[in-house]
Amino acid sequence: QVKLQQSGAELVKPGASVKLSCKTSGYTFSTSYMSWFKQIPGQSIEWIGMIYAGDGGTGYNQKFKGKATLTVDTSSSTAYMDLSSLTTEDSAVYFCARVAIAASFAYWGQGTLVTVSS
Amino acid sequence: DVVLTQTPSTLSATIGQSVSISCRSSQSLLDSAGNTYLYWYLQRPGQSPQLLIYLVSNLGSGVPNRFSGSGSGTDFTLKISGVEAEDLGVYYCMQATHAPLTFGSGTKLEIK
């Protein structure tokens, strides 16, 4: 079955960067799209961007351009998201989700909590 | 960006009660090809969102048929016909017709 396993919680200092991973299994990663989302606890969900694993092509929410960089490693069926120049406003849970039928998100990772604190 | 306004923000229901959640969009979600990219997700406490409805009214895989979606243009509704205890959580509508994808602010369903 389809699985998306995200990396563990991160505690990072302001100004630093962090790389989150989303390891997949159970489907053909190299021809799939993956999206990433941000959710501050108790708040709604924001779409960060999407990447096509076939060629690494990306599309970003303008709000996250310069903050997030999406990449993939097809050899390990893993998607990555780099978050740079972190501030306390970047403290949130970040989810990966595979694009499925009719552009829906039927498969989600369990989320990674990023805490930015000195 | 498209703003999705969900009402109510909180809903309290007894087991077996039928409830509805409204999602209104600041722009029509009908695209030039005749598709409406409106979805409903449920996020149970401490869990990732799960797909309930796609393209306004199509039931996601494995989703109980007590959930149904309807609407068009800018007005959409999620109905739960006979709430069960496992339905508690926050319900979000999401649109993918216009970039960037956006979510509603959520409706929290509590079980009395």
pLDDT tops 90 at residue B13: yes
Q: Which residues of chain B does A106 touch, with a Cβ-Cβ cutoff of 8 Å?
A: 51, 60-61
Give pairs for A68-76: CB < 8 Å, separation 24+: A68/A36, A70/A34, A70/A36, A72/A29, A72/A34, A74/A29, A74/A30, A76/A23
Q: Chain B: give the shortest CA distance to residue A106, in Å.
A: 5
Q: Do A44 and B92 touch (CB under 8 A)?
A: yes
Measured between alpha carbons, how far is A49 from A59 in angstroms, rounded to an integer?
A: 5
Q: Average pLDDT in the B81-105 region? A: 97
Q: Which residues of chain B does A61 touch, with a Cβ-Cβ cutoff of 8 Å?
A: 99-101
Per residue in B72-89, pLDDT (tens digit) is 999 999 999 999 999 999
Measured between alpha carbons, how far is B27 from B75 in angstroms, rounded to an integer?
A: 10
pLDDT tops 90 at residue B27: yes
Please give the C-alpha separations between residue B58 and each of A105, B61, B62, B80, B87, in angstroms, as whole numbers.
Answer: 13, 9, 12, 14, 18
Per residue in A44-71, pLDDT (tens digit) is 999 999 999 999 999 999 999 999 999 9
Ranges of chain A whose pLDDT falls below 70: none
Q: Mind giving me the DSSP string for A68-115?
A: EEEEEETTTTEEEEEE-S--GGG-EEEEEEEE-GGG-EEEE---EEEE
What does the mean pLDDT of chain A come to?
97
pLDDT of A101 reads 86
What does the mean pLDDT of chain B come to?
97
Residue B108: strand pairing partners: B10, B90
pLDDT tops 90 at residue B93: yes
> In the Cβ-directed half-sphere of A95, how many Cα atoms lie within 13 Å?
24
Q: Average pLDDT in the B31-49 region? A: 97
Does any CB of chain A come closer than 8 Å to the CB of residue B22? no
> Percentage of residues in chain B with pLDDT exceeding 90?
99
pLDDT of A11 reads 98
